[in-house]
Chains A and B, each alone.
Chain A
Amino acid sequence: MADAATAVATTEMTVEMIKASQIGMKAISAAIAVGSTGIATAFAEMAIGSAAVGATAENKDVFGLVLLLTVIPETIVIFGLVVSLLLLF
């Protein structure tokens, strides 16, 4: 609180402005959480996906299984999504 008070004193920020900027920081954090985990998932699924296509070309029966293997790294982005939802609401 002391920091906030000095901030108000030196740059003449109102409490509303600080609140608004905190909301902004939350939004940015949420965006980083979803964005970075999304990239991580994409990298993981890239490798699995190409292997999955190869396996399906060899044997069509494994399609169901490899489709499932491909969505396994989706956990990463879902955790990111959960974190950002908790941040926002």
Chain B
Amino acid sequence: MFNPEQMTRVLIAAPRTQMEPVIRELYRQNLLHVEEFVEQGSEEYEGFRIGTPLPQANEISGKLVQLRGITSAFLIRKEDITPKEKHRQSKLTGLIEEELPSIEKEAEELISRRGQLDTRIREFEQKVESLQPFAGVPFDLELLRGYRMFSVFCGHVAREPVLDLPHEIFSPSGRKEKFIVLLARNQDRSAVEEALVNAQFQAVAVPDENGPAATRIGYYESQIMALKGEMEEINRKLEEIKKNHAEFFLACDELLSADVEMAEAPLRFATTGEAFIVEGWVPSDRMDEFRNGIHYATGGKVFVTEVEPSHERDVAPTEYDNISFAKPTQLLMDVYSRPRYSEVDPTLLVSIIFPIFFGIILGDVGYGAILLALSLGLRKVLTNEEGIQLLKILRNASISSIIFGLLFSEAFGFALPWKSILFSRHLNIGTEVSGHGPEVTSLMVMAIWIGVVQITLGRILGAVNHARQDHGVHRVKAVMANLGWIMVLWGILLMLWGSFAMPTMPDLSGMPAVAAGLNVPSIAGLAMIVAGVLFIASDSALEIVELPTILSHTLSYARLVGVGLSSVAIAMVINFIAIGMIIEPQLGALTPLGVIIIIAGAVVFVIGHLLNTVLGMLGGGLQSLRLQYVEFFTKFYKGGGKKYNPFGMKKRFTED
């Protein structure tokens, strides 16, 4: 529960002739986390080489690449499709040989034809665009080019050019931009050009077409229409292929990927001319299953043995081993870092503490109910694994929020009909003054208590981790240092108790002073601090610099109350604005305008509380998560474990 799944290091040695059955069986079992063989000249692996892929690897890879090309052109994604039935592998292998190539060929032809059509359409569209300015010119386009004595100018102008030379000008009327066609003698060319520059002339090339522009445009547009019709037909055919064969494609993809992975597996093995060796990790409680499977598949021709892992070299992969309640929290752990194999796995602790902190921050029945409804309702939308985990975390957090809402006697910032069972958080904002206001000091001390307890727990776990992971003198020192941190923390507390009376903390300030104005608890506290500092320094003197974090980390838990109170304050302000300031004054004498104002008040109420729910969820979630990551984990948790990634695949579309 507090440890990852126990792993056993195994070694498989077999003759090369058994390579394929061994790979097939390993893949089917999906149990062995293969440790890749690296040629680094270690003694026991002298003469071993990295293996070469099985002979069929190239062919299968080729098929897979072709298939992936098609599936990506069809935009088929594994996540979007839920398999209706599983395809039998033996049948599928035959289909890959017979049917797949013809479907692929058909699809490829359609796709390439679609590409050609697309190019044609674009070509014609460009032509239409170049013809467009001449649409209003009634004469044939070939009349605008090919003169020896004359120059033709076509283009847009800002205003009519002023010319006192012999020329002919035509400008089609009724268009927004002024377009002209101008004919002049060659010898007047420079003068005409100057006049055109003054008229802000922008030349347009005469398209290489015959006949009137409008006719040509009509022709091209009808061509485009026809091409688009053909393209639609192709798209319809492709869509049909996609609909009929998407699942088949994915099943083939799954089978071929598995084959490729199997064919390339020898790249991770150590091989000689006649034999090969695989090393890896198997969950200890499934060792028998593993051993028997291999034995059965190879007829006992393969040697499987457990190896004692060496501490320096062999690092086991980590697979969580949690009860189902704590499983969703693994997501939060992976965001930080997966625990190392030898480390305490705090997932269960976080799965209990995180919702509690969330509830303390957002202790409100109303908001809790909204979030609970949200977490249940979104299940239909977020169907991937991470999304479901996140929703389960949110569900637990919102249930805790409802419970703390009952304890704090709060719903949408209003008081419930009983006094708060925990300390009151009512801020008395606006007209709704009831009770004695918030018990801020008591709430703060409660938060500090929570901090002290969690930090102490963290340090105890730190001692456990060091006791497990370290060796020799360092181990004792590291454990003592963790004890030292606890002593300094509680020493400070003892001194405070001996000096001041505080709510919900033991009051020892009444005891008589013994020496130097300090009473017994204060002296005991001082002694603990000194001893603690010595323990810490004996492990690492640099750690002394970190001593102030005892204060800052403990006080950091005040956020449980601070963020919570700010959320209560916003809720109460919304209530006061919406009800006290907008709705209530209208209720005395109802007028038609008053009804509209009341509706506006209701809108303010709903939007305000929705906004505060989102803020509360972000604030409550992030702040309590941060308390785990920064204040709790830094005391004991390193992380950086390897993920247990067994050789094999979870089959979704195929079966044996």
Nearest-neighbour CB distance to chain B for A46, whole angstroms, equals: 18
Chain A contact surface mostly: helix
Known: A64-B335, A75-B556. A82 touches B562 (CB 8 A): yes
Residue of B nearest to A86 (CB): B440
**Which of the candidate stretches A11-19, A20-28, A50-58, A66-74 sits at the interface with the other chain?**
A66-74
Residue of A nearest to B560 (CB): A78
Chain B 438-455 interface 0/1 with A at a Cβ cutoff of 8 Å (1 = within)? 111100100000000000
Q: Is the CB of A85 within 8 A of B335?
A: no
Report the Cα distance A3→B629, complex, angstroms.
Answer: 51
Interface positions, chain A 25-69, Cβ under 8 Å from B, are 64-65, 67-68
**Does B1 have its Cβ within 8 Å of any Cβ on chain A?**
no
Q: Is the CB of A79 within 8 A of B441?
A: no
**Does B407 have its Cβ within 8 Å of any Cβ on chain A?**
no
Q: Is the CB of A82 within 8 A of B622?
A: no
Interface positions, chain B 459-500, Cβ under 8 Å from A, are none
Q: Is the CB of A72 within 8 A of B630?
A: yes
Pick from A64, A65, A75, A89: contact of B559, CB under 8 Å: A75
**Does B625 have its Cβ within 8 Å of any Cβ on chain A?**
yes
Contacts of B47 in A (CB 8 A): none
Report the Cα distance A79→B563, complex, angstroms.
Answer: 10
Known: A65-B335, A79-B555. A86 touches B444 (CB 8 A): yes
Report the Cα distance A9→B556, complex, angstroms.
Answer: 46
Report the Cα distance A88→B440, complex, angstroms.
Answer: 9
**Does B654 have its Cβ within 8 Å of any Cβ on chain A?**
no
Report the Cα distance A64→B622, complex, angstroms.
Answer: 10
Contacts of B444 in A (CB 8 A): 82, 85-86
Residue of B nearest to A71 (CB): B622
Nearest-neighbour CB distance to chain A for B231, whole angstroms, equals: 35
Residue of B nearest to A34 (CB): B566
Interface positions, chain B 587-626, Cβ under 8 Å from A, are 622-623, 625-626
Contacts of B629 in A (CB 8 A): 68
Known: A68-B622, A71-B626, A81-B566. A86 touches B555 (CB 8 A): no
Report the Cα distance A67→B619, complex, angstroms.
Answer: 12
Nearest-neighbour CB distance to chain B for A45, whole angstroms, equals: 12
Contacts of B561 in A (CB 8 A): 82, 85
**Does B344 have its Cβ within 8 Å of any Cβ on chain A?**
no
Interface range, B side:
20 to 34
**Does B437 have its Cβ within 8 Å of any Cβ on chain A?**
yes
Report the Cα distance A65→B383, complex, angstroms.
Answer: 23
Contacts of A74 in B (CB 8 A): 559, 623, 626
Contacts of A85 in B (CB 8 A): 438, 440, 444, 561-562, 565
Q: Is the CB of A67 within 8 A of B440?
A: no
Pick from A64, A71, A89: contact of B623, CB under 8 Å: A71
Report the Cα distance A75→B626, complex, angstroms.
Answer: 10
Contacts of B622 in A (CB 8 A): 67-68, 71
Report the Cα distance A79→B447, complex, angstroms.
Answer: 13
**Does B394 have its Cβ within 8 Å of any Cβ on chain A?**
no
Q: Is the CB of B559 within 8 A of A78?
A: yes
**Does B558 have its Cβ within 8 Å of any Cβ on chain A?**
yes
Contacts of A86 in B (CB 8 A): 440-441, 444
Report the Cα distance A34→B626, complex, angstroms.
Answer: 21
Residue of B nearest to A65 (CB): B335
Pick from A65, A72, A81: contact of B562, CB under 8 Å: A81
Pick from A72, A81, A89: contact of B437, CB under 8 Å: A89
Nearest-neighbour CB distance to chain A for B429, whole angstroms, equals: 12
Pick from B335, B336, B562, B630: contact of A78, CB under 8 Å: B562
Contacts of A72 in B (CB 8 A): 626, 630
Contacts of A68 in B (CB 8 A): 335, 622, 625-626, 629
Nearest-neighbour CB distance to chain A for B389, whole angstroms, equals: 12
Contacts of A89 in B (CB 8 A): 437-441
Q: Which of A65, A67, A74, A78 has the most CB of B within 10 A?
A: A78
Nearest-neighbour CB distance to chain A for B322, whole angstroms, equals: 19
Residue of A nearest to B437 (CB): A89
Report the Cα distance A39→B559, complex, angstroms.
Answer: 18
Contacts of B555 in A (CB 8 A): 79, 82
Report the Cα distance A67→B618, complex, angstroms.
Answer: 10
Nearest-neighbour CB distance to chain B for A41, whole angstroms, equals: 12
3 cross-chain pairs, A with B, having the tightest CB-CB distances, nearest first = A64-B335, A89-B440, A81-B562
Binding site for A on B (CB under 8 A): 335-336, 437-441, 444, 552, 555-556, 558-559, 561-563, 565-566, 622-623, 625-626, 629-630
8 contacts across the A-B interface (CB closer than 8 A): A64-B335, A68-B335, A71-B623, A78-B563, A85-B438, A85-B444, A85-B565, A89-B439
Binding site for B on A (CB under 8 A): 64-65, 67-68, 71-72, 74-75, 78-79, 81-82, 85-86, 88-89
Q: A65-B336, A68-B622, A86-B440 are in contact. List 17 more A-B contacts (CB 8 A).
A: A67-B622, A68-B626, A71-B622, A71-B626, A72-B626, A78-B623, A79-B558, A81-B563, A82-B558, A82-B559, A82-B561, A85-B438, A85-B562, A85-B565, A86-B444, A88-B440, A89-B438
